[in-house]
Amino acid sequence: AQSVTQLDSQVPVFEEAPVELRCNYSSSVSVYLFWYVQYPNQGLQLLLKYLSGSTLVKGINGFEAEFNKSQTSFHLRKPSVHISDTAEYFCAVSDLGTDKLIFGTGTRLQVFP
Partner 1 sequence: DTGVSQDPRHKITKRGQNVTFRCDPISEHNRLYWYRQTLGQGPEFLTYFQNEAQLEKSRLLSDRFSAERPKGSFSTLEIQRTEQGDSAMYLCASSRTGSNQPQHFGDGTRLSIL
Q: Give the binding site for partner 1 (CB under 8 A).
A: 4, 32, 34, 36, 41-46, 49, 51, 90, 92, 94-96, 98-106
Minimum distance of partner 1 from residue 102's CB (angstroms): 7
Of the two residues 69 and 100, which places its CB atom closer to partner 1 in the complex? Answer: 100
Q: Which is nearer to partner 1, 4 or 87 (CB)?
A: 4
In the complex, least distance from residue 107 CB atom to partner 1, rounded to whole angstroms? 10
Q: Give the contacts of 48 (CB within 8 A, at least 6 positions apart).
A: 34, 35, 57, 58, 59, 60, 63, 64, 65, 76
The backbone torsions φ and ψ at residue 36, rounded to the nearest 5 degrees and listed phi first, read -120, 155
- Minimal distance, residue 43 CB to partner 1, in Å: 4
> Alpha-carbon distance 105 to 96, whole Å?
20
